[in-house]
Structures are given as structure tokens and as C-alpha cells.
Amino acid sequence: MVSAFLIAFLAGVVRGYSGFGYAVLVVLGLNLLLPAQQALVTAILLDLACCLGLLRQAALSCHAPLLKRLVFGMLAILPVGLLLVNWLPSSLMSLIVGGVSLIGGVLLWLNRPIRPLSNRFALVAGMTSGLAMTTASAGGPPLMVYLLNQPIPARQQRSTAILFFAICSSCALIGLAISGLFSKPIFELAMIMFLPSLLGNQLGQRLFHRFGHLGFRQWVAPLLIMMSCWVIMSHL
């Protein structure tokens, strides 16, 4: 119970500050306590619930044309992700979660300067992030690698990410529920973790408004890398 509270609060802080990272941190933490599929559904459900308070402000400052392309790519790959979640064994799912999160964390940490990616790559970015989100709840790192190389302000990057993952989580939850992976114990666990998630989310927003100019690669990426390695070593 204490572990679930701490996981939810820490992930909430990251999400409130950066606009992403909540679901992947929750699923990495819960992978040490639950089967991978249960951890995945819980993380996506909480991710959607906790972003509701961010949607109104995000809608005012998102990059709408870019968001539409990203969502289209996500919807195109969603059936493949749902098929993999239902087909893969729980132990392999845990390793995939850890591996995808580790790659994403390393990409964010390296922060190799590349020329701004044009909007025509948004479809691929949406597909990559949507697949990672549906199978490993780790869609944040690949999406942010793309958004951070767009010539748009940090506030637009954050808002676009918030709205994208709200839509992605909603679609994934519908598919997971149809697949029979949504259950009463998962809902009860999500309810327990909801309050600490909101508290962390509020703290993260306050930190962003005060220190947002400092960026978030420097501390989100190492956190993702450490937790990913922890999950991988625990399931090998």
C-alpha cells in the first residue's frame, strides 16, 4: 500500500511538471508488484484520470494541426498494440515495458541535437508513441523526442503531449476493456492511488510554473533509466 502511494505521488509530480511520464513511471513501479497486464491497465486508467484537470489549459495552448497528425498515427497502430498485450505472456510483457522505457530514457538523456523534424514525421511519431503506450505505457519518451525537436515553444510541446496522451489513454482503455483485461481489483487499486497522484500532479504544476524554464530532461531521463533497469533486472 505504501509503495503504491509513493509510486503514484512521484509519477504525479513528473506528469504535472513535464506533461508526460506519469503512465510509464506507474507501470514500471507496479510491474514489481503486479502482473504486467494488470500494471498496464492500472497505469493507463490513472493516467487518464489524472490528466483531466490539465485538459482545459492544454487545449488553449496546444499545437492543433500537429496534434491531429499524431492522433491519426496512434489510431492506426492501436489494434496492433492491443493484440500484443493480449497475446504476450506477463513475464515477457514486463521485460518489454522495461526495455522500451530504458530506450526512451536514454534517448531523452542523450539529447542529440538534430534539425527540427517536419510535420510529415508526425504520423510515424504518433504510431511509435501509440504502440509504446498501448503495450508498455511508455509512449512519453518517443513522443517527447519528436516534440522537443519541433520549432514550437515548450508550453505548446507540453500541452500537445497532455492532449495526445489523454486521447491515447481513452482509446487504449476502451480496447483493453473489450479484451476483458479491466477488472474490479484494478479499479480499486486505481482509486487508492488516485489521491496521491492528484497531489503529486498539483505539486508538479506549481514546480513547472516556477522552474519550467530549467527543462526536465535532466531529471526525468535518469529516473526513467534507473526504474527501467530495476524492472529488467527483477524479471530476468
Write out the three cell numbers for 227. 526504474
pLDDT tens track for 193-202: 999 998 998 8
Distance CA 146, CA 154 (A): 13
Q: What are phi and psi of 47, to 5 degrees?
A: -60, -45
Predicted model pTM? 0.78
| Residue whose cell numbers read 513511471 | 25
Distance CA 214, CA 195 (A): 28
- Integer Rg of the chain from CA: 16
pLDDT band at 219 (very low <50, low <70, confident <90, very high): low
Which DSSP letter does residue 119 get?
A: G
pLDDT tens track for 131-190: 888 887 777 777 877 887 788 888 888 899 889 989 999 999 999 888 888 888 888 999
Q: Which one is predicted more confidently, 42 or 111?
A: 42
